[in-house]
Amino acid sequence: MSNPVKETAEIFSVQKVGAYYQFTVVAPGIAAGFAPGHFVAVAVGGENTSMILRRAFALLGATPSGQFAGTIQFVVAEHGAGTRWITQRRAGDTLDIVGPLGTPFPLPSAPSPAVLVGGGYGTAPLLPLAAGLIEAGSAVEFLLGAATSSRLYGELAAKRLAGSVTVTTDDGSAGEKGLVTEALPAAIERIGAEVVYACGPMGMLRAVGDISRAHAIRAQVAVEESMACGIGVCMTCVLPVRGDDGRSRFVRSCVDGPVFDADRVRWADVGTLPPDLLGADAMGLH
């Protein structure tokens, strides 16, 4: 595992893709340590901004070296003032970026058929993962879903990589009408999947976990929790997760995740304090 670094990164290009903005920035230190599942934390608003926290983005890829110094790519969706500031940056501007952060996707030790499920721009970290899986000899099938067609991401790139891509939208504006997880059981059976990888909203990840368990296979899912620091010191991004010892704890999705074995996450308890959690008994009055 490589240490994260902080880089002042020049933007090489910004491309609008549907409702999203795809950034390629020159960040050789971050690119050098990249593995699929890593994310970066980007400062927003400039030097004297009132927005003091970084915004986190899963990496779409990295090119450690080439014609230019190493570059990284990530996808930004506008959620508020901070992300809007980022999407207004253009080639030649610089971004203050910390990365690579988080624990990447675990890879199978031998070639294993895999279904990759992306919700919205959650597809971004699955693309370099697919490339790695395919290179290692695994069959890969993509399921991409979104609320509406402009919120889909990565369909072309996924097709180029894996050939087989199923698209769903909630409103039927692209692909099949419905939830992406409705297509998952058939996809698992079609390729005899031994593992499912997913990134997207919490509800989708939970459903992916349920379906995978029903098929007796593992699901490795990348969560997107709100976080202040991204480096493991602030304790704001925790999820209730069952450990190897059977005890559940609040664990940091920034360093212990963002990728979790879906079966270990207590999805139904997210946003609550389950009484059996380690240390819940000490909360007492406070």
Residue 100 preceded by cis peptide, ω within 30? yes
Instruction: For the CB of residue 72, give the shortest distance to another protein in the complex, in Å.
Output: 18
Alpha helix (H) ranges present in 95-177? 126-135, 155-162
Of the candidates 207, 258, 265, 260, which has an alpha carbon nearest to the alpha carbon of residue 237? 258
Least Cβ distance, residue 118 to another protein (angstroms):
24
Shortest Å distance, C-beta 156 to another protein: 33
Closest approach of another protein to the CB of residue 100, in Å: 11
Q: How many residues form the binding site for another protein (CB under 8 A)?
A: 42
Distance CA 124, CA 198 (A): 10
* 51 scored as a contact of another protein (CB under 8 A): yes
Both tokens of residue 121?
Answer: 């721009």
In angstroms, what CA-CA distances link 20 with 104, 121, 195?
23, 8, 28
Alpha-carbon distance of 122 to 140, in angstroms, equals: 17
Cβ 55 vs Cβ 44: under 8 Å: yes
Binding mask 72-111 for another protein (x = CB under 8 A): ----------x---------------x-------------
Q: Smallest Cα–Cα separation from 146: which of 190, 199, 221?
A: 199
Identity of the residue, 135 or 281, whose beta carbon is nearer to another protein in the bound complex? 281
- Phi and psi dihedrals of 167, rounded to 5? -115, 135
19 binds another protein (CB under 8 A): no
**Helices of type H across 192-265:** 202-214
Among 14, 31, 229, 259, binds another protein (CB under 8 A): 229
Tokens of 69: 């110094």
Contact 186, 131 (CB under 8 A): no
Give the per-residue contact string, 239-278, with another protein (x = CB under 8 A; - = no).
Answer: x---------xx----x--------------xxxx---xx
Nearer Cβ to another protein (13/226): 226
Is position 147 an interface residue for another protein (rule: CB under 8 A)? no
- Helix then strand then coil, in percent of the chain rounded to 5, is 25, 35, 40
Contacting residue, 9, 11, 31, 43, with another protein by CB under 8 A: 43
Distance between start and end Cα atoms, the chain: 38
Q: Which two tokens stand for residue 116?
A: 């990759």
Least spacing, CB of residue 253 vs another protein, in Å: 10
Beta strand residue intervals within 147-194, DSSP E: 165-169, 176-177
Closest distance of CB 232 from another protein, Å: 4
Q: Which of residues 46, 50, 67, 109 is near another protein by CB under 8 A?
A: 50
CB of 149 to another protein, least distance (A): 24
Q: What binding mask, one character per residue, do residues 187-226 give for another protein by CB under 8 A, x or -?
A: --------------------------------------xx
Q: Is 8 in the site for another protein (CB under 8 A)?
A: no
The residues that touch another protein, with contacts defined as CB under 8 A, are: 3-6, 43, 50-54, 82, 98, 225-229, 231-239, 249-250, 255, 270-273, 277-280, 282-286
